Amino acid sequence: MTDIAVSQLWIYPIKSMKGISLDKVQLEQRGFQYDRRWMLIDKDNRFITQRQYPRMTLIEPSFESDVMDFGLSVRAPEMPVLIIPYPDPQIELYDEVEVTCWDDQVKAQHINTAIDNWFSEFLDIDCQLVYMPDTTLRQVDPDYAMSEKGNDIASFSDGFPNLVISEASLDDLNSRVDIDLTMNRFRPNIVLSGCKPYEEDTLGHFKINQIDFYAVKPCSRCVITTINPQTGQKESREPLQTLSKFRKKKNKVFFGQNLLHKLSYGSDNRLYVGDKVEIIKALDALIFD
């Protein structure tokens, strides 16, 4: 039996923009450190994503050695490099804003108008960048939460703190479509090697580096997966068209598995590329229409 292992780790500091591939990550209560802690909002303080503005996929945050202790570097075509400082919880200079992320209204911090102007110019819209402070505790959907004390929280992700996909699932999907799909279209946090195709569907309870993970909800996919992350263009109906033929249920198509987790008091709560996966309890395979 092939060992299942972590082959890639990803974070997406600014919601709906390019991700950063890392060799190790720090896991916190709301997910990977820095993952989707920033988000763009419109004039009504509602979140915006590639669904409305596909060019967001061309915006690339990074942690560069000369600024990583201070903040994020952000690049986009034909734009100057932008530096976004980490908000300092000791300095009360940030405006508090109530923002909407899907059905949730949560408090966030507005950084500054110069940063807003950079994003507004590139996307040709009126928008603001906000940050989720540690004091904001956005609860996951109570229908899927494991803790009755409200300890299952997320950042500005679509709903859950972690998403896992296997390399084998992407390989299988690529064998069915006539375009080359890369993993970053599907925006996972954890990528696994050594799985059978779609085996992540059945990973009910597993451990990585002493940390417990729980599969709670298959990930339904949207139009973002049809946007080429290299060009920012929607070039076809794939992969949704193909997924609808064999991964569809109640008019939704699924690819990947949403996860909750419990931090380990006996671990540094870090994940590393190469970590082995220990399956504790498997689920039955999903049945599709």
Among 51-65, 105-119, 138-152, 265-279, the range scoring the smallest mean pLDDT is: 138-152
Among 1-5, 37-41, 72-76, 130-134, the range scoring the smallest mean pLDDT is: 1-5
Q: In the predicted model, is pLDDT for residue 257 greater than 60?
A: yes
State the pLDDT at residue 91.
62
Are 150 and 139 in contact by the 8 Å Cβ rule? The answer is yes
Q: In the predicted model, is pLDDT for residue 253 greater than 60?
A: yes
Structure tokens at 218: 């298959």
Q: In the predicted model, is pLDDT for residue 49 greater than 70?
A: yes
State the pLDDT at residue 31.
97
Task: Please state the rounded mean pLDDT for residues 115-142.
Answer: 96
State the pLDDT at residue 155.
98
State the pLDDT at residue 65.
72
Q: How far apart are CA 25 and CA 188, in angstroms?
A: 13
Q: In the predicted model, is pLDDT for residue 165 greater than 80?
A: yes
Q: Would you place residue 21 in the very low, low, confident or very high pLDDT band (cuts 50, 70, 90)?
A: very high
pTM: 0.96
Task: Please state the rounded mean pLDDT for residues 42-51.
Answer: 98
Reference 165, options 46, 49, 257; nearest CA is 257
Q: Where are the domains of the chain?
A: 5-281
Q: In the predicted model, is pLDDT for residue 67 greater than 80?
A: no
Residues 6+ apart with CB under 8 A from 60: 17, 18, 74, 75, 76
Are 14 and 111 in contact by the 8 Å Cβ rule? The answer is no
State the pLDDT at residue 13.
97
Q: Would you place residue 89 in the very low, low, confident or very high pLDDT band (cuts 50, 70, 90)?
A: low
State the pLDDT at residue 107.
97
Q: In the predicted model, is pLDDT for residue 1 greater than 60?
A: no
| Secondary structure of the chain in HEC code, one letter for each residue | CCCCEEEEEEECCECCCCCEEECEEEEECCEECCCCCEEEECCCCEECCCCCCHHHHHCEEECCCCCCCCEEEEECCCCCCEEEECCCCCCCCCEEEEEEECCEEEEEEECCHHHHHHHHHHHCCCCEEEECCCCCCEECCCCCCCCCCCCCEECCCCCCCEEEEEHHHHHHHHCCCCCCCCHHHCCCCEEEECCCCCHHHHCCEEEECCEEEEEEEEEECCHHHHEECCCCEECCCCCHHHHHHHCEECCEEEEEEEEEEECCCCCCCEEECCCEEEEEECCCCCCCC
Sign of CA dihedral 31, 37, 40, 41: positive
State the pLDDT at residue 69.
77
What's the mean per-residue pLDDT of the chain?
A: 94
Task: Please state the rounded mean pLDDT for residues 192-198.
Answer: 98
High-pLDDT (> 90) share of the chain, %? 88
Reference 165, options 215, 104, 212; nearest CA is 215
Q: In the predicted model, is pLDDT for residue 227 greater than 80?
A: yes
What would the pLDDT profile of 94-126 be if each residue is shown by its tens digit?
789 999 999 999 999 998 999 999 999 999 999
